[in-house]
Structure 1
C-alpha cells in the first residue's frame, strides 16, 4: 500500500517496500513519472471570474512566484514537488486565486511541468507585466478536480484528520499532516497529553506510511489502522 498533497496539493501511496498549504498532494508512485500536458478550456469563460462562487472543496496547492517568458505565462511553486504532485495543477481547467483580499477564479489555457515548477497560461493574462502582477497569489484547485488515483493510493489532504488506532484498538491520535522524508511519507499523529507543568499539551507520533506499519486506510470510517504500539 502506498501514499500518493495539490499542489499542495499530495498523493500518498502506501507500499510494502520500505500531499491547507500542507503539501496538499504528493504522488509517490512505484516508478517516478513526470506529468506534462496541455489543457484547453474551450468550454470555460475566457477570463477570470471574481463573482464565481468559491468551491467548498478548494485546496491550496501552490503559489505564483514569477512570470515565465514574455507572453503572460506564470510560474507556480507547487506545495508538493512539481514532477510528482504537480499533476492536479497541470490537468485542471480552472484555478482559484487569492491575493490579499482579492479572490477570483481563472481559466487555465495551458499548463505543464517545467523543471521544478509548473508554468501556465491563464486566460486574460497576455503579457509579462500582467503575469508579474500575480506574484504572491495563492493557487487552489477543487478536490473534485484532482486526477483519479490507483488502488491503494491516497491524497495527503484526504488523510489529514483521520483517526489512527493500532491493531489492538488503542487510539493513537489523529493525523495532523504528513512529512516526505525522501524515501516515503510519514504520518505525523497528534494526541492529547500532559506537559511537565501538568497542563494539557499535545503529543506527537511519527509513523512511516509504508505497508509494514499501515494496515488499513478506511476513509469512509475516517480511520487508519496501524501496527504500532502506544509506547513507541
Structure 2
C-alpha cells in the first residue's frame, strides 16, 4: 500500500527534554504503547534526518527515556531537545488487511454521502474515546473516526474517505 507519493519518513515522536547527566533524553512518543518507539532503530533525528542508534532506552513513569550512541553527557543531550524522532517508512511492519496507519489517511479528500467535499485530512489525533480526523477545506472540521457510524469507506486508490457527516458541523 506504499505509493511513491507517501513520505519516506514517519515521525514517531520528539525529544522533549534531558534526563540526568549521562546523556539520556526524555522522549515524547506517539506510538502505542509509548515504549514501542524503542523497537524502531535507527532513529532519524531532526529535519536533517541524521540516523542515530539507540544505545539504551526504557519506560519511565508515564514516559520514555533513551540514550543515543555518541551522546555521553547532559550538554550533548540538550542539543537534541525539540528534535523530531522519525524512521524510514520501510521500518514499519505492513498493516493487516483491515488496518492502516494514520499517515496513510493524511492528504485524502473527505466527502460526505451526498458528495459534498469537506477538504483534505491534515492529521489525526486521539481523544481516548475515538480518533478524530482534522479536515482542512473551506474551514477546519473535526470528524470522529468511528467506523460505520461516521466513516463509511476509505478508498486509497481513489484518494478519498466517504463520511456520514452534516456539512454544517
TM tier, smaller: 0.7 to 0.9
Q: Secondary structure at the match of 1:121?
A: strand
Q: Does 1:59 align with 2:10?
A: yes
Q: Secondary structure at the match of 2:90?
A: helix
Q: Does 1:120 align with 2:71?
A: no
Q: In structure 2, do the counterparts of structure 1 residues 220 and 115 end up closer, same or farther at CA, with 3 Å as the change threshold?
A: farther
Q: Tell me by how many angstroms 1:147 deviates.
A: 4.1
Q: Secondary structure at the match of 2:115?
A: coil
Q: Secondary structure at the match of 1:153?
A: coil
Larger relative CO (CA 8 A, sep 6+): 1 or 2? Answer: 1
Q: Tell me by how many angstroms 1:208 deviates.
A: 0.9
- 1:164-215 residue CA offsets vs partner (Å, 9 max, x unmatched): 1223433232212223222111112222xxxxxxxxxx32332210011112
- 1:43-70 residue CA offsets vs partner (Å, 9 max, x unmatched): xxxxxxxxxxxxx511333222233344
Query: Pairwise mapping of residues 127-206 of structure 1 onto structure 2 (< 5 A)?
Result: 127-191=73-137, 202-206=138-142
TM-score of the superposed pair, with normalisation by structure 1 = 0.59
Equivalent in the alignment of 2:151: 214
Return the structure number with greater strand share. 2
Contact 2:121–2:134 (CA under 8 A) maintained in structure 1: yes
Contact 2:34–2:63 (CA under 8 A) maintained in structure 1: no
Q: Tell me by how many angstroms 1:151 deviates.
A: 4.6
Equivalent in the alignment of 2:42: 94
Q: Tell me by how many angstroms 1:77 deviates.
A: 1.6
Structure 1 unmatched runs, 5+: 1-55, 192-201
Q: How many residues align?
A: 162
1:226 is matched with which residue: 148, 163, 167? 163
TM-score of the superposed pair, with normalisation by structure 2 = 0.77
CA RMSD of aligned residues (A): 2.7
Q: Secondary structure at the match of 1:144?
A: helix
Contact 1:108–1:123 (CA under 8 A) maintained in structure 2: yes
Equivalent in the alignment of 1:25: none
Runs of 4+ off more than 6 Å? none
